[in-house]
Copies of this chain bind each other. A is one copy, B any other.
Amino acid sequence: MNYQKIITEIYKSVEAEEDQGQVSSYIPELAQVDSKYFGVYLTTTNHTEFGIGSCYQKFSIQSLAKVLSLSLAYKMLGEKIWERLGVEPSGTPFNSLVQLETDKGIPRNPFINAGALVISDILISELKKPLTDFLKFVRETSNNSELNYSERIAASEKSAGFRNIALCNFIKSFGNIKNHPDEVLDFYFHLCSIEMTCEELSKTYLYLANGGHRISDKHQVLNASQTKRVNAIMQTCGFYDESGEFSFKVGLPGKSGIGGGIIAIHPGKFSIAVWSPRLNEKGNSCKGMKFLEQLTTKTKSSIF
């Protein structure tokens, strides 16, 4: 398939549309990002790759990092992690506390903030030097030793992250956070602060399209079963309370971040990263959603 031609066409069409949505104002640092950025990068499992627009511009990956932290925890502990969180879509916004009260501190899934905090807690318990070791894992997975946290973004989130502080202490009150909430939050804010370009994202997450193997050299990130399961969770839970809509319109497992990035996976075929900072009401990139909807429609490449 001539991805280059199709991507270019759709890119131009979506770029020409009127801007909608708002750049996230949640974190002071994110609010300053130029809303005009729009980048796309696709990498296939058979070594094709193509990028367009702002695809070499770094941005804050935010919640996209939840896929990487889940992968590392899952790799280290296996199915045991599901004793502490579920795999069900929540039907509620990303930062909701309501279900936690009913569910006694067990988050519905690893991609809402509550679940990502529990995964962070697990990694802190398991890793010797949590921040260093997690970054090492990300660099290995991406085969890119340049990737790093943004201390500036992490600090900015810390100063404004009252909802996440609430979530973490709430889960702690149920006993499902083992370390000190401040430590867990510091780890969580750091992993959200990692910066990547669309190209880097597309290549980093390609293992999920490639049976768990890093494309470059067969390095195994996750085994086949774990890979399928991470994809399944992205399918049902990757877009908060818009997960059904994304599944319905795009039909690929994916994950969004409030930095405006989206990563989508076609198992066996490709991984694609899209970035545009303006978000819709549900916290997902407007142009990113549109681009991917048109892509799978025109290429008939959804998994359904």
Contact = CB atoms under 8 A, between A and B. Distances in A.
Nearest to A229: B248
B242 A88 contact: yes
Interface string A98-135: 11110000001100000000000000000000000000
The number of times this chain is found in the oligomer is: 4
A225 interface: yes
Given A166-B169, A232-B304, 5 more contacts: A87-B245, A97-B101, A165-B169, A228-B251, A236-B244
A302 B228 contact: yes
Interface string A72-111: 0000000000000011111110001111110000001100
A98 B168 CA distance: 15
What secondary structure prevails in chain A residues at the interface with B?
helix
A163, A244, A300 interface centre (most CB from chain B within 10 Å): A244
A170 interface: yes
Interface in A136-174: 162-163, 165-170, 172-173
A274 to B, nearest CB: 19
A51 interface: no
A243 interface: yes
Nearest to A167: B166
Contacts of A99: 91
A247 B89 CA distance: 11
A52 B253 CA distance: 33
Contacts of A108: 91, 244
A109 B91 CA distance: 11
A243 B236 CA distance: 8
A270 to B, nearest CB: 14
